[in-house]
Structure 1
Amino acid sequence: MINNRIKANAFETKEEVNQGFLDLLAPVVPFFEKSNPGHLALGSHGTVYSKERREVEAFLRPLWGLGPYLTEQETPILDTYLEGIKAGTNPENSAYWGKVTNFDQLIVEMASLSTFLLLNKEQTWDTLNEREQQNLYHWLIQANDHTIPRNNWHFFRILVNVAMKKCGMPYAQNIIDQDLAVVDSFYVGKGWYYDGVETQIDYYISFAIHYYSLLYCKFMGEDDPKRVNTMKERAMSFAQSFKYWFDSTGEAIPFGRSLTYRFAQVSFFSALVFADVEALPWGEIKGLISRHMQSWMNHDIFTTDGLLSVGYHYQNLTFAEGYNAPGSPYWSFKTFILLAVPKEHPYWKTEALPLQIETNPLSLPESRNFYQYNEDRTHLQIFPAGQFLHFQNHAAAKYSKFVYSSHFGFSVPKSNYLYYEGAFDNCLALAENECYFRSKDQDVAYDIQDDRIIHHWQPWEDVTIKSTIIPLENCHVRIHEIDSNRTLDIYEGGFSMPLEELASPKITGLEAVYETEKGHSSVLGIIGFEQADVVRTEPNTNLFYPVTMLPHLKSHLKAGHHLLVSVVSGRLVDEVLEQPVISIEEKKIIITQAEKQTIAVLEN
C-alpha cells in the first residue's frame, strides 16, 4: 500500500508533498507505542555509538519533516513528541537522553530539535512550563562545552544557539561567531566548500553546509544581514553547478559517504525555496525536486514494515558507514523543509521544468569533478580527482574510482582477497599472486583539465602510476603509465551490470561485453593487456543491483615500466558506441573519434 501510494505521487503541489511526508511517516508511528518516551527502536544492527543514542536519533530525525509540516498543519503525533522531549531532557526521568560528551552523536541530533523549535516556537517551546523549558535549555546548551569535529558539525552548535536566542534564553554569540568562522574557512570558491578536510567534497556540502546556511539565512536575516547576504550569494553560485549532480530522470549521482540518506540529496533545493533564494528559476528547482522524489519512490528502499531501510537502491548494510543506525535514513526528511514554504509562494504555482544543462561536459576543479552527460541527459557520469576521506568505510570505493554513474551505480568490496570479492568496477586493481588487491585511494597529485582528468598515485611505495582519463562520446579512454619494482597482476574494471538469466557475456579477443535491458558495459584492451573476461561479483556489493557482472581486462606485469591503454564504456540500451581509433607516435597517444582528435603526451 505505502509503495503504490507514494509511487503515484508527483511531489509537485503542496498537497502532494504533504501526503508524501505523511505516507513516509505513517510506518514509523506504530513504533512509538513500543518504545520509551523520547526513544524509538527501529532495528537491531549496531553503530559506533550506543543503542541508547541510536534510539534517540531515531526519535529526533523525523522532526526534520514534522517541524515543517506543523507550520501549517496539525497532527496528534505532536503530543507524542512533546512528551518525549520533556522526558528525554529531564535528568530525573528514566528516559533522560543523558549528559553529552565530546564528539557525541547527541550533538548531531540537536540540530533537528533546534530547527523544530525555530519553526514552531508557539506550539512547542511556549507550551512548556518553566521547569520543562529549563530542562530543554540545559540539555541543548551542553553542546557549547564540548569538542566537536572540525567539519559541518559546527552548524549544530550554531542552530542550538540560534534556537535558544529566539526562545529568549541565554546563548553564546561568541560560539556562533567562532563556529561560522570555522565553516567559512572551508570555502573553496564558486559556491563550493569542503567538509573539514580538503579532500572531501561530497553531499555534505549540499545537505549540510549550504542547507544549514539557508536555515540561518531564514532565521537570522535581520540579526546578521552581512553574513546572510554572503551565504545567499554562495548558495546561488553553488546551485549553478550542483544541479550537475542529477540526471534528467531525477537520479542523483551516487558518490561519497552517507548515501543511505537518499533523497536528502535534493534537500539543498528545498532549502533554497524555504529561504526564498531563487538561485535557479522556481520551475527548474521544482523539476529537480519532484523528479528526484519520484525516482526514489520507485526504488526498493523500504523494509517489510514500510520503514526507510539502511541501503541505497535496496536494503544493504555492506556499504553502510559505522554511523548508519536503523533511524539514520530519516535524515532524508530534511527535504521536507519545503512544507514550511507558504502555499502562496510562487514555487507552488510554477510548472516543473526539465533539467537545464548549459555546458556539457563541464570541468569544475572547485568541486574536484569533471561532469559529462549523454545526449538526452538521462545518464550522468562524474570523474572525480583528489578526493578521499580517512577513517571512512570503503573510502576508496566511495571517492576514488575513475568514474561514477547515475545509471550503473558503483560497488564496494566485501573483501580485497580475490578480485570478484572486491567488485572493483571502474578501478585499476593490482595484486601480487592474484590476491590482496589494491586500487587507487588518495591521489598523490591530480589535475582536472578541460578535456581530461589526471591522477598520480602509489598503491605501494615502489609502484607509481599516472592514470589519464579522457572522456569521449559514450566511452572514455584510460591511459596508465606504470613504474613498478614488483611483479603485479593488473585488472581493469568496467561498469557493473545487473545479472540477468538470459544475458551472456561476450568475449572477443581483448574485448568483454555484458548487455542487459539496463544497458551495455564493455572494456576493450588497446595496449598492454593480455585477456578480457566478465566475472560475477559478490552479492550486495553494488549500490544499485544486488548481483552484478563485471567486464574487465587483465595483464601480468613484471617489474619495470609499462603502458596500459583501454576503452571503457557504460551506455544505455539504445546508445551506439563508435570505438575510438588509437595510435602511438613517439611519445604521443593520438585518439580519434567522430573526426575529433585528442592527444595525450606520455611521460616516459
Structure 2
Amino acid sequence: MASFSDFGKTTPFGPNPIETRDDLGKFLVNMLDALEPHTSPGGSRIHLGYTGTHFDETAALLEGFSRPVWGLASLLAGGGDYEGAARWVNGLANGTNPKHEEFWGDMTDKDQRMVECSALGFAFAVAREKLWDKLSEEAKTNVGNWLGGMNDKEMPNTNWLWFRVFANLGLSKVGSPRADTTRMKADLDHIDTFYIGDGWSRDGPEGVVQLDYYSSSFAIQYSQLAYSKLAQDIDPERCEEYRNRARQFALDFVYYFDAEGRAIPFGRSLTYRWAMSSFWGACAFADLELPAPLTWGVVKGLQLRNVRWWAKQPGAFNTDGTLTIGYVYPNLNITENYNSPGSPYWCCESFISLALPPSHPFWTAKEEPYPTLDQRVKILKHPLHIGITGKHTYILSSGQQCSYPVKQGPAKYGKLAYSSAFGYSVPSGSDTLEELGGDNTLALSDDSGETWRARRDTREARFEGDKWLRSMWYPWKDVEVETWLVPPTAEAPLWDLRIHRIKTGRPLSSAEGGFAIYGQREDGRALDAAEDGKAFGTYADGGQARAASEAGVAGIVDLNASGRTGVALRTDPNTNLMVPRAVMPTLRGEHAASSKNIWLVTAVFALPASGEAGATTEWQSEWNKRPVVPEEIQKLMKLTKRRSTANTLLDLARGHI
C-alpha cells in the first residue's frame, strides 16, 4: 500500500520499470485497456472528454480511435497478441461503413480525418494478418473506399502529405484497388522539396521557418524512416536518401534530450508527450545504425528513458490510466485549437520498437546513459538554435515562428531559450505581467504595463562566426529590438548572455525573464524571501533576482547597470508547462523615447536539481561567476554609442531638437 507521502504523486504505470521489451509492451497494453470503457458500442469512436476543437466532434472521437493504433499495430507486428484488438477491427468496419450509425463521414478538403489515416495505413503495412485480414470482404471494400477518398482532396502543404502517403502505402501492401501509387509518388516528390540540408526538413514550402518536433519525431523524420523500411522494394533510392538524412539529423537531435530522459519542450503539439522520442524508435525499426556516439545502447536509452520519465508523471494521466490534455499536468492553456481529448495518443508512435523481434540489437543491447558529446555547445544551423548540454540541457533560439496563426505562438516559438528541466510558460491572460508568463523573453509595454508584447515575428536571424545568434524584432513601427544570444563559456558554464539594443520612438516598460522554476517550499507553501545564499527561497537586490527550490536555482542579473530592478515574480498558476506554481526571476525597467540606442546586457543563470537533492549552496560558486560580453559585441556597442552622440550633435546643429 502506498504511503501518504506518495499520495497524488503516482501513476497507474509507475511500478513498471520499462526497461525491457516486455515492460514496454505491458505499458502499452495497460494504456489500451484503459480505453475500453470509453469506446463506443460499434468500436469506431473513443470518447475521453468534452473539450472542443476547430473540427467536428466525430473527427475528435476518431482521433481517440486511430492514434492508439500506432502502438497496437507495432505490438501485433512484433508477434504480440492483444485480445482487445477486436475492438479496433470492429471499429474499422463500422467507422468506414456509410450505412452504419458510427460512420466517420466522407473526407472533404483539408479534413482532420486525413491525419488519422496515417496510423491506419501504417497498421495495414506492418500488421496485415491481425488487422486487415480480420475484416470481411465488404469491410475491406469500405475501408479502401474511405481511405482512398482522400486522394482527390486538397491537403495542407505541410507534413500532412505524409498521412496520405501512408494511407496509399498501406492500401498497396494489402492489395486494395483504391491504392493510388501515382498520387503517393507525387506527394513524396513534393514533400522532398521541404528538405533544406544536413538531415533537416522544414514543415512546409520555402519561406516557412518552422523546424519543431513535426520536422522530427512527430511526422517528417519518423515517416521517412518508417517508409524507408516499408518501401525498400518499390522505392530503394529514396529510402536510402531518407536513411542518410536520419544519420545526419540524429547528431543534432540528441541535443534536444537530457540525461534524465526529458526532451526540451519547444513549439506546438506538446500534449503528444513521449512522441518526442519516437525518432529513436523509428531508427531501430528501420534497422538504421547511427554514427558514434549513438550506439544501439545509447539509442535504446534515449528512447526508453523518455518513455519512463513520462510514465511517472502523475499529471499526464487520469486515475483510470487515460491521458490528460496538457504537458506534465492537465493544462488547456498550452493546447492548440486542434487538440481533442484523443490527441495525446499520438505518443503511441513511440511504441514502434515493439514491432522488432527480441533478437534485434535495439533490444539485445545494454541500455547506455546519455552520451558524451564532442561539443557541449553546438550550433544547430537549420533550426536556428544553439544546443547546450551538461548540468543544464537547453537551447538558445531565434528565427522560428509558426507559418500560420497558432495559439500562444510567441511563447512556443519566440522565446530566447527553452529548457528540458524548466520548460516554458504560456500566457493565462492578456493584462498583467503575472499572466504573461514571460520566461526567457524581453517583454515590452507602451501603456505603463497594462498590456505586454513578446517576440513573435523574428527577422534577420543568423549566426555570426558560429559563436552566437543575432536577430531583429519590430514590436511597433517606431520600435526596433536587436538581440544577441551568447551561449555559456568554460569560465561561466551555467550562464548565458543576452544583449539587446532597443531604439524606440515611444516610452517603454520592459520585463526580461529568466527561467521559471518550481515556486514552493519543502512544506508545499509558496517560496518566501530569503537571505542571500540560503538554499531555498527568493532573493532580489538591485539589478538581480534569483529563486531556489527543490527544482534547482534560476537567476537573472543586469550586467550594465541599465537601471533595471530585479524581482522574483510569482507567475499566474498554470502558465508554466512543467509546474503549475512557478517563480520567475525578472528584471523590470523603464525607458524613455530616444533617438539613442538603449543597451540592455543580461546574464541568465540556471542549474536544475540533480535527482532529489534540490537546491543546495553548492551553486554559489557558479553564481558568483559572471559572463563577459564578447569583444566584438563590445566594440559594436561603443561604435553605436559614438554614432548616437554624433547624430544628436548633428540634430542640434540643424535645430531638430
Q: TM-score with structure 2 length normalisation?
A: 0.87
Query: 1:424 — aligned with what?
Result: 438
1:24 aligns with 2:31: yes
Read off the aligned partner of 2:604 and give its amino acid letter.
Answer: V
Cα 1:206/1:283, change in 2 over 3 Å: same
Cα 1:83/1:11, change in 2 over 3 Å: same
Out of 180, 189, 202, the position equivalent to 2:212 is 202
Read off the aligned partner of 1:461 and give its amino acid letter.
Answer: K
Q: Secondary structure at the match of 1:21?
A: helix
Measured after TM superposition, the shift of residue 3 of structure 1 is 4.8
Out of 603, 606, 613, the position equivalent to 1:570 is 606
Query: 2:225 — aligned with what?
Result: 214
Cα 1:105/1:312, change in 2 over 3 Å: same
**Contact 2:214 / 2:220 at 8 angstroms: preserved in 1?**
yes
**Contact 1:463 / 1:483 at 8 angstroms: preserved in 2?**
yes
**Contact 1:385 / 1:448 at 8 angstroms: preserved in 2?**
no
1:404 aligns with 2:418: yes
Q: Distance in 2 between matches of 1:488 and 1:57?
A: 46
**Contact 1:529 / 1:553 at 8 angstroms: preserved in 2?**
no
Q: Secondary structure at the match of 1:383?
A: strand
Query: 2:463 — aligned with what?
Result: 448
**Contact 1:191 / 1:234 at 8 angstroms: preserved in 2?**
yes
Read off the aligned partner of 2:340 and give its amino acid letter.
Answer: A
Measured after TM superposition, the shift of residue 11 of structure 1 is 2.6
CA displacement, residues 199-239 of structure 1 (integer Å, 9 cap, x when unaligned): 10000111211111111111111111111110111111111
Q: Secondary structure at the match of 1:7?
A: coil
Q: Secondary structure at the match of 1:520?
A: strand
Query: 2:185 — aligned with what?
Result: 177
**Contact 1:35 / 1:41 at 8 angstroms: preserved in 2?**
no
Measured after TM superposition, the shift of residue 20 of structure 1 is 1.5
Read off the aligned partner of 2:387 and give its amino acid letter.
Answer: Y
**Contact 1:503 / 1:514 at 8 angstroms: preserved in 2?**
no
Q: Distance in 1 between matches of 2:563 and 2:153?
A: 55
1:530 aligns with 2:545: no
**Contact 1:454 / 1:466 at 8 angstroms: preserved in 2?**
yes
**Contact 2:515 / 2:554 at 8 angstroms: preserved in 1?**
yes
Q: Distance in 1 between matches of 2:306 and 2:419?
A: 16
Query: 2:271 — aligned with what?
Result: 260
1:311 aligns with 2:311: no
Out of 521, 525, 536, the position equivalent to 2:554 is 521
Q: Distance in 2 between matches of 1:83 and 1:273?
A: 31
Out of 381, 386, 408, the position equivalent to 1:370 is 386
Cα 1:467/1:23, change in 2 over 3 Å: same
Cα 1:5/1:412, change in 2 over 3 Å: closer
**Contact 1:63 / 1:116 at 8 angstroms: preserved in 2?**
yes
Read off the aligned partner of 2:544 and give its amino acid letter.
Answer: E
Query: 1:579 — aligned with what?
Result: 625
Cα 1:101/1:291, change in 2 over 3 Å: same
**Contact 2:570 / 2:583 at 8 angstroms: preserved in 1?**
yes
**Contact 2:543 / 2:564 at 8 angstroms: preserved in 1?**
yes
Query: 1:589 — aligned with what?
Result: 634
Gaps of 5+ in 2: 3-8, 530-537, 609-614, 642-657
Out of 577, 582, 585, the position equivalent to 1:548 is 582
Q: Distance in 1 between matches of 2:167 and 2:30?
A: 29
Q: Distance in 2 between matches of 1:320 and 1:453?
A: 29
Q: Secondary structure at the match of 1:404?
A: strand
Query: 1:596 — aligned with what?
Result: none
Read off the aligned partner of 1:507 and give its amino acid letter.
Answer: A
Q: Secondary structure at the match of 1:132?
A: helix
Query: 1:439 — aligned with what?
Result: 454
Read off the aligned partner of 1:381 and give its amino acid letter.
Answer: Y
Q: Secondary structure at the match of 2:415?
A: coil
Q: TM-score with structure 1 length normalisation?
A: 0.94
Cα 1:313/1:581, change in 2 over 3 Å: closer
Greater alpha carbon shift after TM alignment, 82-91 vs 525-534:
525-534
Out of 427, 431, 434, the position equivalent to 1:413 is 427
- Structure-to-structure mapping, 1:41-52, within 5 angstroms: 41-52=47-58
Q: Secondary structure at the match of 2:485?
A: strand
Q: Distance in 2 between matches of 1:202 and 1:111?
A: 20
Measured after TM superposition, the shift of residue 293 of structure 1 is 1.3
Measured after TM superposition, the shift of residue 378 of structure 1 is 4.3
- Structure-to-structure mapping, 1:269-418, within 5 angstroms: 269-279=280-290, 280-300=294-314, 301-356=316-371, 357-373=373-389, 377-389=390-402, 390-418=404-432
Out of 513, 538, 547, the position equivalent to 1:493 is 513
Query: 1:461 — aligned with what?
Result: 477
Q: Distance in 1 between matches of 2:107 and 2:118?
A: 14
Aligned residues: 591
CA displacement, residues 138-180 of structure 1 (integer Å, 9 cap, x when unaligned): 0000110111111111111111111111111232222112111
Measured after TM superposition, the shift of residue 130 of structure 1 is 2.3
1:511 aligns with 2:511: no
Query: 1:595 — aligned with what?
Result: none
Gaps of 5+ in 1: 591-598
**Contact 1:3 / 1:297 at 8 angstroms: preserved in 2?**
no
- Structure-to-structure mapping, 1:32-71, within 5 angstroms: 32=39, 35-71=41-77
Out of 158, 161, 168, the position equivalent to 1:161 is 168
Measured after TM superposition, the shift of residue 4 of structure 1 is 5.4
Cα 1:41/1:511, change in 2 over 3 Å: same
Q: Distance in 2 between matches of 1:270 and 1:177?
A: 25
Cα 1:59/1:582, change in 2 over 3 Å: closer
Q: Distance in 1 between matches of 2:462 and 2:638?
A: 14
Cα 1:398/1:483, change in 2 over 3 Å: same
Q: Secondary structure at the match of 2:487?
A: strand
Measured after TM superposition, the shift of residue 416 of structure 1 is 2.7
What CA RMSD, in Å, does the superposition of the two structures yield over aligned residues?
Answer: 1.9
Q: Which of structure 1's runs of 4+ aligned residues deviate more than 4 A?
A: 1-5, 581-585, 599-604
Structure with the higher fraction of residues in strand conformation: 1
Q: Secondary structure at the match of 1:96?
A: coil
**Contact 1:454 / 1:467 at 8 angstroms: preserved in 2?**
yes
Measured after TM superposition, the shift of residue 583 of structure 1 is 7.6
